[in-house]
Amino acid sequence: QRYLMHFDHRFGSYYYNERASVCVLAAAAWKAGPQWVALEEFVTDKNGGSEGNYRGRCDLFIGDDRDFSVAIEAKQHWPQLAPQDNAVAALQASLNEANRDARGLAETEALYRLGACFAAPSFATEVDEANEKRLAKWLDEVRELEDVHALAWHFPSSARHLQGTDERYYPGTALLLQLC
């Protein structure tokens, strides 16, 4: 909401890419209180399965001063909501991919490892009553997804007119988390 307000509700950070979304989540961790810290895009060891271990990057680490910590691998997904689309299946695939990447992190990286999927649904036309119903239906379907351990979303009324360079409308974002 603060980002939207800063740009007079003309741009949403969720429209851009995974890095922008991870950045906002990291900022939220820092703002949660002085006991919280966050670190983005740091080098770590990863398990490449049959290909062996390698040095890679972890998208985000969040921890507190009581030994809680989580390492997050994230994906960004842009479902296009239309009358006949099954946008939720592709979203589940993105979340599964993030979770697979999180499982590839060393178990010593953090107390918990999470796959995260940021979803920024869009519409071909400005958000009207029909699109509001599609958005509500999509959110209901997302709530029903298996293996989603936490879900948060932000679809403020002030974002209903946000249009990307692709001329689609992006009314907000959802964050799905899956524990490894």
Per-residue model confidence as pLDDT tens digits over 110-134: 999 999 999 999 999 988 999 999 9
DSSP H or E run through 173: strand 173-179
Give residue 74's pLDDT. 98
Question: Residue 62 region, left (φ>0) first, then alpha (ψ -120 to 50), else beta?
Answer: beta
Full-prediction pTM beyond 0.85? Answer: yes
Averaged over 153-169, what is the pLDDT? 88
Taking the C-alpha atoms of residue 75 and residue 25, their distance in angstroms, rounded to an integer, is 13
